[in-house]
Amino acid sequence: MPFLAALVYWWRVSRRDIHPSLKRRYAGGAVVWTFSAVLVELWVKHRPQGVPVARFGSEVVAVMSVWLMSCSLVLATRSRRLEPWFGGLDRMYIWHRRTATVGALLIPLHLALLAVRPGRSQAGGAPPTSALGNALGALALLGLLVLVLLAYAPRLRTLARVLAYQRWFVAHRFIGIFVLVATVHGLLVDPILRDNGGLMALYVTVGALGTVAYLQRELIAPWRRTDSPYLVAGVDRLDDSTLDVRLTPVGEPLSFGAGQFVFISFGGVGGWQSHPFTVASAPSDPILRLSIRTLGDHTAELHRDLSPGTPARLSGPHGMFDHELGGPKQIWIAAGIGITPFLSWLRDSPQHADHEVHLYHAVPTRDDGHFTPELTEAAKHRDWLTFAPVHSDVDGRLTVERIVDDCGGTVTGFDVFMCGPAAMTESFRDEFRKRGLGPDAIHFEHFNFR
């Protein structure tokens, strides 16, 4: 049954008239849930005689929890090989949070089912117990639930101010230890595993998958550093919250595509904390440029202290925000510092192309339009580009209605690319969907990595 569902899913995706890369990004999630269904089917098929339904269900739930938590550890590795199969690192992190959350929430369900006593008509008594196994189970339950709660804390403004990024990051790194503890707990207390060598081997493989991914990230990756060394060549403070940073490579420059982002850590500023920023320069430029907006403690420190000559380390690139995935008619929408990937696209684009692109850049005031002169000049020399700056204090907020009017009263046949606050991109996505655009014609990245 799970294989039939997977075939139907891929048949539906294959019939969609979209770029092959867009089709591929659905594969990762499909594999996670399809294999989840396969695990349940295998356990049900090998259910021992006489085991009460509740006890058997608790063991199946526990196996699913270990599988999903292992998936979350694999997705946390920032593997560039996995990115295309999920649609970019941002969506990999969404799946990381999703699988970790479901996996952790299954643990209380596992305990609740264990607490159900079998009826008189049911065979089987209490499951075998192990003092060590029970202790490890309690430790895994407490640790995983706390870490999942901390993962969602940044979405609550009050807790986000208390839980700084670095504190959250350090706490989050312990999740692999608790997944390993939960795996060992299952081996010690699950009677079905002890009686079925095949299921035992599958369970160990599932637990080992997450454990190996965790050890690779925490122990092996730091010693096999592939970061590219750079030096800060210049820093322009465009206003009291925006930096334009220019970097020169020390050795071989980092290879990236227009619109991608990198993780960068600066020496002497914040203690080599690694944070993601979109590259604003073209891939062919000898100078790599980043535009950084002050949004937290680390970026505020960068704005205050970053100076030329500071060493930096870059890793990546990441992301699949690529206008080449769209058709010949496109709408580009940026808000504030969200103009960065579009700057990279324009700095990498030809003057003449068989395209029609409408670019909107929304900023609070005219003084905030630091890149307006460059964008205006770019539009003058590109016959395919129309640029419209939007100053909220004078023009009001940018609306989908205005964009539709500028495009001749309809957006049918257009691809929309957006970069800005989540509230804006999600609202515009819904509005464009109401006007007939499918989900594969609306492109944006999720930049909240917590």
Q: Cis link prior to 154 (omega < 30° from 0)?
A: no
Asked whether residue 122 is domain-assigned, the answer is no
CA-based R_g, the chain, Å: 25
Going 86 to 322 to 7 to 5, the CA torsion angle's sign is positive
Please give the tally of structural domains in the chain.
3
Read off the tokens for 6: 């997977």
**How many residues are recorded in the chain?**
450
CATH number at residue 388: 3.40.50.80
Same domain, 197 and 255: no
Domain that holds residue 440: 323-444
Note the pLDDT of residue 302.
Answer: 84
Query: What confidence tier does 300 reach under pLDDT thresholds 50, 70, 90?
Result: confident
Do 304 and 197 lie in one domain? The reply is no
pLDDT digit string, tens, across residues 230-264: 999 988 888 888 888 999 999 888 888 998 999 98
Q: At what angle do helices 27-45 and 53-75 cross, to 10 degrees?
A: 150
- What is the distance in angstroms between the CA of the first residue and the CA of the last residue of the chain? 36
Confidence of residue 66 (pLDDT cuts 50, 70, 90): confident
Q: Are residues 155 and 6 in the same domain?
A: yes
- 307 and 382 within one domain: no
Tokens 């490890």 -> residue: 136
| Domain assignment present for 449 | no
State mean pLDDT over 326-354: 87
In whole angstroms, how far apart are CA 365 and each of 25, 49, 336, 337?
A: 38, 72, 10, 13
Average pLDDT for residues 297-309, to the nearest whole number?
A: 84
pLDDT digits (tens, 9 = 90+) for 69-80: 899 889 988 888
Check residue 120 and give its pLDDT: 47
The pLDDT value recorded for residue 15 is 54
d(CA 67, CA 18): 32
Task: Supply the pLDDT for residue 40.
Answer: 87
Three-state DSSP class for residue 406: helix
Nearest Cα residue to 262 out of 168, 340, 170, 325: 340
Token digits of residue 93? 């992190």
Q: Provide the token pair at 42.
A: 């295998």
Question: Which residues, at least 6 apart from 169, have a Cβ–Cβ distance to it below 8 Å?
Answer: none
| Per-residue pLDDT at 340 exceeds 60 | yes
What is the average pLDDT score of the chain?
80
68, part of any domain: yes
H-helix segments, 359-399: 372-380, 392-395
CA distance 164 to 344: 30
Confidence at 123, pLDDT banded by 50, 70, 90:
very low
Q: Is the pLDDT of residue 281 over 70?
A: yes
Residue 106's Cβ-count burial label (10 Å; 0-12, 13-18, 19+) is: buried
How far, in whole angstroms, is CA 182 from its chain's centroid? 25
Does residue 332 have a pLDDT over 90? Answer: yes
Q: Which residue has the higher pLDDT, 218 or 105?
A: 105
Task: Look at residue 15 and give its three-state secondary structure.
Answer: coil
- Asked if 337 and 311 touch (Cβ cutoff 8 Å), the reply is no
List pLDDT tens digits, range 12-25: 555 566 666 677 78
Confidence check: pLDDT of 141 > 80: no
Model pLDDT, residue 122: 46
* Nearest alpha carbon to residue 178 among 208, 142, 213: 142
Pick the last residue of a domain from 296, 318, 340. 318
Question: What integer is the mean pLDDT of 219-238?
Answer: 80
Whether 142 and 29 map to the same domain: the answer is: yes
The answer on 363 and 328 residing in a single domain is: yes
- Is 192 in a helix, a strand, or coil? helix
Q: What pLDDT does 227 receive?
A: 81
DSSP 132: H
The closest alpha carbon to 245, from 207, 283, 201, 289, belongs to 289
Higher pLDDT, 269 or 436: 436
Q: Which of 53-57, 116-120, 192-196 is predicted with the least confidence, judged by mean pLDDT? A: 116-120
Angle between helices 197-215 and 27-45 (to 10 degrees): 150
Domain at 270, CATH number: 2.40.30.10
- pLDDT band at residue 87 under the 50/70/90 scheme: confident
